[in-house]
Structure 1
Amino acid sequence: MVWEVLNVIGTIAFALSGVLVAMEERYDLMGVYILGFITAFGGGAVRNLLIGVPVSELWEQGTLFTVAFVVMTLAFVFPRIVRWTLLRRGVFFDAIGLGAFSVQGALYAYSMGHPLSACIAAAALTGTGGGMIRDMLAGRKPLFLQKEIYIAWTLIPGITVGLGWLTGPIEVLFIVAAVVSLRLCSVYYKWKLPNRAV
């Protein structure tokens, strides 16, 4: 049940994130659908390649494709749906997708018996893969390369789930909320990781 909830939350959030970017770039309706679908399902495709799951399994998620299609259509017809984002450039929706999909990726790798390193990688790629492809197609600097902390937050679900510490339904939802909150705080308060110039 938790798996399905995370799937739906992440799909809706990333679909809306893709729609918002497409509308900011003034793409037409087809461009909105393409960017929205890529954002919602790109991370899962990259994750499946990484941990040895056939990419064709994505096509078995017919219900999620329908949900994404309906959400994107509503957002395009009623653009005010995506205007209440808390931060600029769709960061709010992207943060929700990051939290939901990074946890889902870690759970997926953990359920297949993969080691900690695979859980961490699956969390990072599932959480950021769709957004990375979206930004590249839109000609933007990917969010995970921005100054504010982004991909580093996926270490939380990667480690806690990969070690089997937090895998219960309530615990998983708590991890999602923590990743979303920390991502939004890192943008709002401009938290940054140390860097060094050469």
Structure 2
Amino acid sequence: MTWEVLSIIGTIAFAISGAIVAMEEEYDILGVYILGIVTAFGGGAVRNLLIGVPVSALWEQGMLFHVALLAMTLVYLFPQKMLPHWQRWGNFFDALGLSAFAIQGALYAVKMNHPLSAAIVAAVLTGSGGGIIRDILAGRKPLVLRAEIYAAWAILAGVAVGTGIADSPVGLYVLFVIVAALRILSYTYNWKLPNKSLKIEN
């Protein structure tokens, strides 16, 4: 039940973020719904393709689709009321969603007896793939790959699950708290990974 609640939180957070980006880009209502759905479920779809889970498994998540649609509808109809709350709590819920989805993605790979590399890829795609697809469709550079430490925490979750460090229910919940806390700390204190620019200054 706890994982289901976390999945709902993550789905809502990702769906709302996709809808808000679409509205910022002045997409029509269809674009808002498409971008929201892609953000919430796109990473899981790509993960399923890569690790051999039938893509049709996504359609078994009917309740999550309904939750995502409801969240996007509320944002679209009442942006003035929803956006202030999102600006205050959005990153927090997004951190919970990243952690829960990354762990679940890694668990999918482990249950199918895939190697550590597959667990890491599954964690990254499930946790941050939707955001990457969202930014590409919106014509933006993917923020999760350049502006903040985001995908790195999904990699951490994939390593912990893939190596068996977190292989019990208690261990998985501890891992969830650690990954979510690290994500919260990284945006609170503006942590960034090293980067190298090839631009030549005049």
Normalised TM-score (structure 1)? 0.88
Q: Distance in 1 between matches of 2:35 and 2:161?
A: 30
Gaps of at least 5 residues in structure 2 are none
Q: Which residue of 2 aligns with 1:83?
A: 84
Gaps of at least 5 residues in structure 1 are none
Q: Distance in 1 between matches of 2:179 and 2:157?
A: 8
8 A Cα contact 1:19 1:72, kept in partner: yes
The total of aligned residue pairs comes to: 197
Instruction: Please give the per-residue CA displacement for 1:166-192, whole angstroms capped at 9, x wherever unaligned.
Output: 233343233233223322322232212
> How much does 1:120 deviate?
0.8
Q: Which residue of 2 aligns with 1:193?
A: 193
Q: Which residue of 2 aligns with 1:67?
A: 67
8 A Cα contact 1:85 1:92, kept in partner: no
8 A Cα contact 2:100 2:176, kept in partner: yes
- Determine which structure has more spread, i.e. the larger CA radius of gyration: 2
Q: Distance in 2 between matches of 1:74 and 1:173?
A: 31
> How much does 1:36 deviate?
0.7
Q: Quick one: structure 1 residues 18 and 170, their matched pair in 2 at CA, closer, same or farther if it must change by over 3 Å?
A: farther
> How much does 1:54 deviate?
1.4
AA partner of residue 53 (structure 1):
V
> How much does 1:40 deviate?
0.5
8 A Cα contact 2:122 2:158, kept in partner: yes
Matches within 5 A, 1:55-134: 55-79=55-79, 80-86=81-87, 91-134=91-134
Q: Which residue of 2 aligns with 1:32?
A: 32
> How much does 1:86 deviate?
4.8
RMSD: 2.2
Instruction: Please give the per-residue CA displacement for 1:12-68, whole angstroms capped at 9, x wherever unaligned.
Output: 121111122122223232221111100010010010011011112112221211111
8 A Cα contact 1:48 1:54, kept in partner: yes
